[in-house]
Amino acid sequence: GFTCVLQPLDVAINKPFKDRIRNTYMLWAARNMLGKEKVKSPDRKLILEWIQASWDAIAPDMVKNAFRACGMQ
């Protein structure tokens, strides 16, 4: 289809971004589950910190390369 042409972030950015957030959550949940039956959900501030850190981990070159891969220079 046209995903590559219309959505460069889908090509190279979204997966590593979401994977990092997921991994961060899983580590947090594992640490907070020790000895507990029920784990509280992370608060919004913490989730926003995870989002920021995950976005910061995306190198500018990855974004540039995503657009290049879709034929946009």
User: CA 72 to CA 17: how far, in whole Å?
Assistant: 21
Query: For the whole model, what pTM was predicted?
Result: 0.78
Of residues 24 and 35, which shows the higher confidence score?
24
Contact 58, 16 (CB under 8 A): yes
Which residues make Cβ contacts (< 8 Å) with residue 10, sequence separation at least 6?
3
What are the structure tokens assigned to 11, written together? 């090509």
pLDDT at 62: 92
Please say if the pLDDT value at position 8 is more than 70.
Answer: yes
pLDDT in tens, 28-52: 999 998 877 787 899 999 999 999 9
Please say if the pLDDT value at position 11 is more than 80.
Answer: no
Give the closest residue to 50 by CA, choosing from 29, 72, 71, 73. 29
